[in-house]
Amino acid sequence: MLQVAIFGAGRISKIHSANLVRQQGVRLKYVVDVHAPSAAALASEHGAQVSDIDTVFADPEIAAVIIASSTDSHADLILRAAASGKHIFCEKPVDLTVERALVCADAVAKAGVTALIGFQRRYDPTFAALKARIDAGDIGVPEVLAITSRDPGAPPLDYIRSSGGIFKDMLIHDFDVFRWILDDEAVSVYATASVLTDPKVGEAGDADTTAVTIRTRKGRLCQINTSRRAAYGYDQRFEVLGSAGMLQAHNHRPTEVEAWTASGVATSLPENFFLERYRAAYAAEMAHFVAALIDGKPVRTTVADGLKALQLAQAAEVSWRERRIVEL
Amino acid sequence: MLQVAIFGAGRISKIHSANLVRQQGVRLKYVVDVHAPSAAALASEHGAQVSDIDTVFADPEIAAVIIASSTDSHADLILRAAASGKHIFCEKPVDLTVERALVCADAVAKAGVTALIGFQRRYDPTFAALKARIDAGDIGVPEVLAITSRDPGAPPLDYIRSSGGIFKDMLIHDFDVFRWILDDEAVSVYATASVLTDPKVGEAGDADTTAVTIRTRKGRLCQINTSRRAAYGYDQRFEVLGSAGMLQAHNHRPTEVEAWTASGVATSLPENFFLERYRAAYAAEMAHFVAALIDGKPVRTTVADGLKALQLAQAAEVSWRERRIVEL
Amino acid sequence: MLQVAIFGAGRISKIHSANLVRQQGVRLKYVVDVHAPSAAALASEHGAQVSDIDTVFADPEIAAVIIASSTDSHADLILRAAASGKHIFCEKPVDLTVERALVCADAVAKAGVTALIGFQRRYDPTFAALKARIDAGDIGVPEVLAITSRDPGAPPLDYIRSSGGIFKDMLIHDFDVFRWILDDEAVSVYATASVLTDPKVGEAGDADTTAVTIRTRKGRLCQINTSRRAAYGYDQRFEVLGSAGMLQAHNHRPTEVEAWTASGVATSLPENFFLERYRAAYAAEMAHFVAALIDGKPVRTTVADGLKALQLAQAAEVSWRERRIVEL
Amino acid sequence: MLQVAIFGAGRISKIHSANLVRQQGVRLKYVVDVHAPSAAALASEHGAQVSDIDTVFADPEIAAVIIASSTDSHADLILRAAASGKHIFCEKPVDLTVERALVCADAVAKAGVTALIGFQRRYDPTFAALKARIDAGDIGVPEVLAITSRDPGAPPLDYIRSSGGIFKDMLIHDFDVFRWILDDEAVSVYATASVLTDPKVGEAGDADTTAVTIRTRKGRLCQINTSRRAAYGYDQRFEVLGSAGMLQAHNHRPTEVEAWTASGVATSLPENFFLERYRAAYAAEMAHFVAALIDGKPVRTTVADGLKALQLAQAAEVSWRERRIVEL
């Protein structure tokens, strides 16, 4: 029986916990959160105990930890987990600085523990099916990737202020998708950004709308456009042009009802936000993590991937702030 | 803690069991199946015991039974459950004869137990959302219903021979959808049918392709077309024309990938068959059943509904065999 | 230079005239209409003369006539055209009675003139492409045809009273589509109908909503559902299930704009009504007629087709009024 | 009667001529082309005369000229037309150099003649309907524009060598769409490009795949991605995100047939290339030009628009070649 502890008891922790306990041969032993009522509620739901960081890492029964606490705690917990020989499932990002993410990558590599970074999009049924078709050669050689990534609305300003900025907070997923889908690395990054939804986002030193272009070693081109606000909800699409065709990943809808009335022919809005849109992805991600631990196989989204995505986010931010193309 | 027994350990029983144990305050105590290894496997998966019919009905701890065994056992088990005061979740159909279904309906009513018949389509997110929009008046008064219902391929001839015929086996769901969506009852039924997929279906006394028309008390019209075979998979659609518009329920797809190649622009095939297509419906159906038991509220798909659908199936079969319109 | 006369100067005549004069080697010589200003306007637009029936049939220069006048004039004009050796392009229906349509079919056959009946749907790009794919074997053997045919709104009661009823006026096109697409003939017809849009339609002896089922010699099944009113506009769809797949003909839209707003994801309404929806079909139909005259080849929609469609309409009406299945 | 001459007798000239003669009150008098048989054929089709440049400009009856000859002749013909007081319909681009385009803009302005530059996309039903909805406020304030523009295949290398490069030859339309849709002007342009379809394109000094980002005065962002080759045909889409929603312009299809087979659910490929895709746009463009001449009203796509689009193309090319962001 694999015993696991989770750091964080917020909404994403609830999802990870529920997915964890659905796996065979796994048990959630500890829940750790500074907010005691949340920790108690989550622990109670799964027959786990509320605990603290030191107890978790001192307990030899704990084989793995899920790090779903606030971003600024990620690196510390990764380093402690590596030092204690615990396997790691960590939400993105590894850290907000490239330097510290590098330290984490090194520590994990030296400790030889399995460490999965939560780039859940790679586990999404639609995205994974698209990637499998590229790998099967259905569209020949991939040439152009266009990613559209929009949130239903900007988060609170407090969140934005501590988020590390839109590139590290929001586009980090898109940068990972870019690397995964094109199977190539960036040689240059250009980014521009605007404050269009609320001037306070600008006063907080961030932007809410971005346009990024990445050029790869093989000369492939990637364009990303993101916004913190789409009036119609969560928008998560991309398309890949290849030498023999194009593949598109469309949004998911909660129902397949289509209404024909005098005002038009309308389908449902897309799944509301990431918890709904990526529900299947989160489940597959956790199943993959547990299977990897049991089988001793490598995971598909590593700390190295987290580091690379962070480097791209960093480059994009520099490009935007300094109004220049960043060569990598 | 609500203790439950399940009759049957086949593929639909696995789904119902998994959905059952996911509910709070419920426990699967017994699994009963003539095929011992299947019973043992299912029981083991959920920490239940393999048992037999008499034990189940004699155990005062058992509050409810799930009847997912073969069709010819349904009526007997319903009657015994009613006699023992156990609540009932029973797969469709109640029985293959209207007479015996009537006896079941009476017994259940007199016993005052809750009895849900497994018309899972009413619990499907797409179908339920469509129905809610009709009820909200989005398309005015419903006038015409067109149902398309096709299986990916004909079942084995052995199955067909004991199925009760295509109207009772396959269209029974469509007849229930008809009553539910139009909220009206039939006054006449016309059915015609053909053997187009395999002459052996005809030799077994059945048909594989049907066209049914129902006229309701309020003069509304319903057309159903079904086939045992669709080369592209499981096809489950319907549309309702109302005085102010139309609502369509489209097929569900496993992914939202669209491929543009020299040979066309293609989306995924629909979900393969009922176990995939109605996965969410089965889960919602069981959650509804358990919630009804806990809250003491009525269920949405009753033995009376099962009886009405069976009467329509019977009428359609007579119409087809005797080449006449059947007035109800 | 092929000289042509047109009977009727209404909206469909304007379309046919404009399509006619776009053909090479053709000239519109005469326009005949009891409403003098309409005749004058149409004649003036194309450099033609206003004339009368006798002059048209007496003029040896006239090679062909287009009959787009009121339905009750069709048979007389067909007979006179046949007697004068003029080729014929006649709007549907040939006549409202089967008897008189038979007389026309005979006369045309004996005279050896070319006669095209205006079943324009066969010339529609979408419908014709679908038919070509059936003929190419893309879906194997056709088995089931489902036709949806709805007008945006009921015509004036005066029109309905002289229309010959919904089966001969509106479904005649669907009956022709049935014969064309399935390439088979009916052995039985069942029809039911209701008055759901306006009680006055019933007082006029007609219905506004119908459901028809046709069984063919080869055991294929066809369902037609029609309504005089669809709140969302003109609805012209059909689908064919075959042994190896299904083909659907969807509505046409005036634009390909899709709007994503907080209230849903909406595309354009379908083309408004037949003049817009079948604009390309009318053009192709006239081009086909003129090409047939010039090349001396047979036309694709003949008086015999008009007669067969009328017989189906007649059978459907009897089925509805007498509440019985009509065997053919 | 408005008398018109056309320069050029190639495929686009055929379209413009046919659209021209369909207008009331217009006559095509002259066709001029260095290739005598083409000129003769086109002239013959419309009852026009084959002529030469000097005759056209010397003829006081000629009110307007259509310039559809090779790109290098555009500026000269514009200048002569302006000098002769003839109105002008000129295919894009005005010229391949900004300097010469400026001279043309000046000459036309001083001469006071009407001059329409053939940015036909603005007249396309789908694009124009989308623009009208933006102007109606359907999506609030426009913020982000994403344009996808792909040809079905690269043109011959000879064409590429004299085309002025992909930015001036192909993206010039996209730059015009950008200005029109966002109703704003660029402040910076970033472009990158690759040779992915054929190394010979690179040897000719050009690229075949591009990614462009434009930032506007109001901080709006536009991304354009283009390719000379899409295996599935001509791809012409764009989408606009606004503060209250998104509008998408999708590709047009020749038919609305959808095929469901074991290999997927497929619709038609998009209209094959610009002559098919923009057929309605070309017709509307010419109707607009003639109506403007008759009514004395301004045209919607002017030489000034042609100049602005060229300046953007020039900036994009510099950005690509010099690997820098170009500020405007």
Q: Tell me which residue has tokens 């459950």.
A: B81
Residue-level pLDDT at A169: 96
Residue pLDDT, tens place only, A206-246: 999 999 999 999 999 999 999 999 999 999 999 999 999 99
What CATH number has the domain bearing residue D262?
Answer: 3.30.360.10
Residue pLDDT, tens place only, D162-198: 999 999 999 999 999 999 999 999 999 999 999 999 9
- Provide mean pLDDT across the span A305-324: 98
Q: How far apart are CA B220 and CA B214, in angstroms?
A: 8
What CATH number has the domain bearing residue B86?
Answer: 3.40.50.720
Chain A positions touching B251 (Cβ under 8 A) are: 256
D202 assigned to some structural domain? yes
For residues D159 and D36, membership in a common domain is answered with: no
Distances (CA, A) of D35 to D11, D30, D73: 13, 14, 15
B92 assigned to some structural domain? yes
For residues C188 and C317, membership in a common domain is answered with: yes
Q: What is the mean pLDDT of chain B?
A: 97
* CA-based nearest distance D45→chain A, Å: 40
* CA-based nearest distance C259→chain A, Å: 9
For residues A233 and A186, membership in a common domain is answered with: yes
Q: Which of A264, A265, A182 is nearest to A223 (CA)?
A: A182
User: Contact, C120 vs C299, CB < 8 A?
Assistant: no
Interface of B with C in 109-168 (CB under 8 A): 139-141, 143-144, 146, 148, 150
Residue-level pLDDT at A294: 95
For residues B317 and B209, membership in a common domain is answered with: yes
CB contact under 8 A, B144 and C324: no
For residues D263 and D194, membership in a common domain is answered with: yes
Tokens linked to C99: 């008897």
For residues B107 and B129, membership in a common domain is answered with: no
Parallel, antiparallel, or unpaired: how do β-strands D264-267 and B2-7 relate?
unpaired
**Given CB atoms, is A251 within the 8 Å cutoff of chain B?**
yes
* CA-based nearest distance D321→chain A, Å: 13
CB contact under 8 A, B196 and C146: no
**Given CB atoms, is C247 within the 8 Å cutoff of chain D?**
yes
Residue-level pLDDT at C218: 97
Percent of chain D scored above 90 by pLDDT? 99
- Beta bridge partners, A27, equal A3
For residues D102 and D179, membership in a common domain is answered with: no
Partner residue opposite D266 with nearest CB, options B230, B266, B270: B266
Residue pLDDT, tens place only, B182-213: 999 999 999 999 999 999 999 999 999 999 99
- Beta bridge partners, C210, equal C193, C226
φ/ψ bin of C26: left (φ > 0), alpha (ψ from -120 to 50), beta (otherwise)? beta
Residue pLDDT, tens place only, A70-116: 999 999 999 999 999 999 999 999 999 999 999 999 999 999 999 99
A118 pLDDT band (50/70/90 cuts)?
A: very high
- Provide mean pLDDT across the span C35-60: 97
Chain B positions touching C232 (Cβ under 8 A) are: 245-246
Q: Which chains touch A (3 or more CB pairs under 8 A)?
A: B, C, D
Q: What is the mean pLDDT of chain A?
A: 97
Residue-level pLDDT at C9: 97
Q: Which chains touch B (3 or more CB pairs under 8 A)?
A: A, C, D
Distances (CA, A) of A308 to A91, A185, A216, C143: 15, 9, 14, 56
CB contact under 8 A, A251 and B249: no
Partner residue opposite A146 with nearest CB, options D144, D225, D242: D225
**Given CB atoms, is C45 within the 8 Å cutoff of chain D?**
no
B302 assigned to some structural domain? no
Chain B positions touching D232 (Cβ under 8 A) are: 260-262, 264-265
Q: Which of A2, A87, A8 is nearest to A42 (CA)?
A: A8
Q: In a 3-state reduction of DSSP, which class is residue B26?
A: strand
For residues A240 and A105, membership in a common domain is answered with: no
**Given CB atoms, is B325 within the 8 Å cutoff of chain C?**
yes
B271 assigned to some structural domain? yes
Identify the domain boundary among A113, A138, A169.
Answer: A113
Residue pLDDT, tens place only, B38-74: 999 999 999 999 999 999 999 999 999 999 999 999 9
* 3-state percent helix, strand, coil for chain A, nearest multiple of 5: 40, 25, 30
CB contact under 8 A, A221 and D211: yes
Cβ neighbours of residue B149 under 8 Å, at least 6 residues apart?
A: B170, B171, B173, B174, B224, B225, B226, B235, B236
Distances (CA, A) of C298 to C113, C134, C289: 10, 22, 9
Partner residue opposite B261 with nearest CB, options D232, D235, D261: D232
For residues D76 and D129, membership in a common domain is answered with: no
Identify the domain boundary among B113, B133, B162.
Answer: B113
Q: How far apart are CA A23 and CA A27, in angstroms?
A: 9
Parallel, antiparallel, or unpaired: how do β-strands D142-150 and D235-242 relate?
antiparallel
Q: In a 3-state reduction of DSSP, which class is residue B256?
A: coil
For residues A137 and A235, membership in a common domain is answered with: yes
Residue pLDDT, tens place only, D58-80: 999 999 999 999 999 999 999 99
For residues D245 and D100, membership in a common domain is answered with: no
CB contact under 8 A, C223 and B230: no
**Given CB atoms, is D4 within the 8 Å cutoff of chain A?**
no
| Among A253, A265, A267, the residue to mutate for chain C (most C Cβ within 10 A) | A265
Residue-level pLDDT at C233: 97
Q: Tell me which residue has tokens 């609030």.
A: D140
* CA-based nearest distance B198→chain A, Å: 33
Q: Which of C214, C94, D51 is nearest to B194 (CA)?
A: C214
The nearest alpha carbon in chain B to D267 belongs to B265
CB contact under 8 A, C267 and A264: yes
Helix (H) or strand (E) segment spanning residue D258: strand D257-261
Partner residue opposite B264 with nearest CB, options D230, D262, D267: D267
* CA-based nearest distance D282→chain C, Å: 16
Kindly tell me the sign of the dihedral angle through the C-alpha atoms of D282, D36, D160, A139: positive
- Total domains in chain A come to 2
- Asked if residue A93 has a cis previous peptide bond (ω within 30° of 0), the answer is yes
Distances (CA, A) of A61 to A56, A109, C272, D67, D128: 9, 22, 70, 82, 66
The nearest alpha carbon in chain C to A251 belongs to C265
| Parent domain of A49 | 2-113
Q: Which of C3, C28, C25 is nearest to C14 (CA)?
A: C28
Q: How far apart are CA C70 and CA C92, in angstroms?
A: 10
Partner residue opposite B259 with nearest CB, options A125, A126, A247: A247
Interface of B with A in 207-246 (CB under 8 A): 244-246
D236 assigned to some structural domain? yes
Task: Say how many CB pairs under 8 Å bridge B and C.
Answer: 121
Residue pLDDT, tens place only, A162-180: 999 999 999 999 999 999 9
C4 pLDDT band (50/70/90 cuts)?
A: very high
Residue pLDDT, tens place only, B256-295: 999 999 999 999 999 999 999 999 999 999 999 999 999 9
Partner residue opposite C269 with nearest CB, options A232, A265, A269: A265
B92 pLDDT band (50/70/90 cuts)?
A: very high
B284 assigned to some structural domain? no
Chain C positions touching D133 (Cβ under 8 A) are: 257, 259
A290 assigned to some structural domain? no
D92 assigned to some structural domain? yes
Cβ neighbours of residue A84 under 8 Å, at least 6 residues apart?
A: A57, A58
Identify the domain boundary among B84, B113, B142.
Answer: B113
Tokens linked to D263: 């290999």
For residues C213 and C151, membership in a common domain is answered with: yes
CB contact under 8 A, A139 and B251: no
Q: How far apart are CA C13 and CA C50, in angstroms?
A: 14
- Provide mean pLDDT across the span C67-92: 97
